[in-house]
């Protein structure tokens, strides 16, 4: 973490602490040495009695209630939209800043939607809540924004290859159980997903609108426009769930007003924050979800001229859905609040 104000430490609560993103938040707060004086782990009654280890200490998981946010400076919420809607305002009323990983507040005009590599300054205008974008949006934004700054992107056609982790820890286990069942000649069971995901794929099963685009696809459209501050970008995504555990991949076709040199694009992305260029053309080696898993960077490669459009570029990316697609982005937002003094000064206590 850069230039952290270590003269202050913060009382932090994780809402949804026992989920896949919650446990990743714990690991990141530790490994990135976030300045904390106290940590609260909050979850639903299903997790009552559990403990999680943080910095060598066993911390009990508490059932979230009205008094949970007393004297808390920062809440990292990753417990779903309905939970965030129920508790975020209560946390803010108690004096906390909430970084929310659900879709509950993303398109609220009064709530900043932040990817720190793209629009960090937006976090300064928070009114108590900052929204973490959808995982597919984050990964795409990190890769496209450096190019967009040099020459604005006019149109994006995106195809996503989304891992089981996007549906949570139980979905990951379900896919593994399905794979075992299929290999043993049994019928795979489905509970989280509508269809078997092991050895299979299907278009994202979120609700469809009248134009035939699903909710997940429209998140990419609307959130990218908000983050980039450009309502005119044309975006057409197709989101697909694939049998991968925890890293998403995306095939992006970018259209500009003028030709964009492939060598220039490669140079820009090689130096871009949060990006790692992965290309070995002779070996046909490019980003893979297996290698993106557990990494902070978005792996980007296979950058090439669109042979059907003189102003088009094609690229491929893979990024860890739980990490940069969720937990890491939230912790990076928290670090922005600390390093730039955008968290309420009264909430911080001097060490």
Residues 261 and 336 in one domain: no
For residues 321 and 288, what is the distance between their CA atoms, to the nearest angstrom? 13
Task: Indicate which CATH number applies to the domain containing 23.
Answer: 3.40.50.720
Burial of 155 (0-12, 13-18, 19+ CB in 10 A): middle
- Helix (H) or strand (E) holding 88, with range, is helix 81-93
Residues 105 and 217 in one domain: no
Structure tokens at 170: 């139980």
pLDDT tens for each residue of 133-175: 999 999 999 999 999 999 999 999 999 999 999 999 999 999 9
Structure tokens at 215: 């909710």
Residue 5 domain-assigned?
A: no
Residues 258 and 335 in one domain: no
DSSP 154-178: EEEEEEEEE-GGGG-HHHHHHHHHH
Residues 158 and 286 in one domain: yes
Residues 91 and 46 in one domain: yes
Residues 275 and 144 in one domain: yes
Residues designated as active site: 135, 248
**Residue ranges at the known binding site for substrate:** 162, 215, 241
Residue-number span of the structural domain to which 307 is assigned: 137-163+201-319
Residues 152 and 288 in one domain: yes
Instruction: Work out how many domains the chain is built from and give that number.
Output: 2
Residues 32 and 113 in one domain: yes
The angle formed by the CA atoms of residues 113, 118 and 123, to the nearest 5 degrees, is 40
Residue 227 domain-assigned?
A: yes
Task: Indicate which CATH number applies to the domain containing 223.
Answer: 3.30.360.10
Residues 290 and 159 in one domain: yes
Q: Euclidean distance between the first and final Cα of the chain, in Å?
A: 18
pLDDT value of position 8: 77
CB 89 within 8 A of CB 66: no
Q: What is the pTM of this model?
A: 0.94
| pLDDT, the chain, mean | 94
Residue 174 domain-assigned?
A: no
Residues 72 and 153 in one domain: no
Greatest C-alpha distance within the chain: 61
**Residue ranges at the known binding site for phosphate:** 106
Residue 254 domain-assigned?
A: yes
For residues 187 and 200, what is the distance between their CA atoms, to the nearest angstrom? 13
Residues 68 and 141 in one domain: no
The mean per-residue pLDDT over the stretch 298-315 comes to: 98
pLDDT value of position 3: 44
Residues 112 and 261 in one domain: no
**Residue ranges at the known binding site for NADP(+):** 18-21, 46-47, 165-166, 321
Paired sense of beta strands 57-63 and 74-77, if any: unpaired
């Amino acid at each position: 973490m850069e230039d952290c104000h270590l003269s202050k430490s913060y009382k932090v609560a994780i809402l949804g602490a026992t989920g896949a993103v919650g446990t990743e938040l714990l690991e990141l707060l530790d490994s990135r040495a976030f300045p904390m004086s106290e940590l609260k782990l909050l979850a639903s009654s299903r997790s009552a009695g559990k403990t999680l280890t943080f910095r060598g200490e066993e911390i009990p998981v508490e059932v979230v209630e009205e008094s949970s946010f007393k004297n808390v400076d920062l809440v990292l919420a990753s417990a779903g939209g309905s939970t965030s809607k129920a508790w975020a305002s209560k946390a803010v009323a108690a004096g906390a800043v909430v970084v929310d990983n659900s879709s509950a507040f993303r398109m609220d005009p009064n709530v900043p939607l932040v990817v720190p590599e793209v629009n960090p300054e937006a976090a300064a205008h928070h009114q108590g809540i900052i929204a973490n974008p959808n995982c597919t949006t984050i990964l795409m934004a990190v890769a496209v924004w450096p190019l967009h700054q040099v020459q604005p992107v006019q149109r994006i056609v995106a195809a996503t290859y989304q891992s089981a982790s996007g549906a949570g820890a139980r979905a990951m286990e379900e896919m593994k159980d399905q794979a075992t069942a299929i290999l043993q000649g049994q019928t795979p069971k489905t509970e989280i997903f509508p269809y078997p995901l092991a050895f299979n794929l299907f278009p994202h099963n979120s609700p469809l609108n009248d134009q035939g685009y699903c909710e997940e696809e429209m998140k990419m459209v609307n959130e990218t426009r908000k983050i980039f501050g450009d309502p005119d970008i044309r975006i057409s995504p197709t989101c697909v769930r694939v049998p991968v555990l925890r890293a998403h991949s995306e095939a992006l076709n970018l259209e500009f007003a003028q030709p964009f040199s492939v060598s220039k694009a490669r140079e820009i992305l090689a130096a871009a924050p949060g990006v790692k260029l992965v290309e070995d053309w002779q070996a046909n080696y490019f980003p893979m979800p297996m290698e993106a898993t557990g990494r902070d960077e978005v792996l980007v490669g296979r950058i090439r001229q669109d042979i059907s459009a003189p102003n088009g570029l094609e690229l491929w990316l893979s990024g860890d859905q739980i990490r940069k697609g969720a937990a890491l982005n939230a912790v990076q937002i928290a670090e922005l609040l600390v390093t730039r003094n955008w968290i309420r000064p009264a909430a911080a206590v001097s060490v």
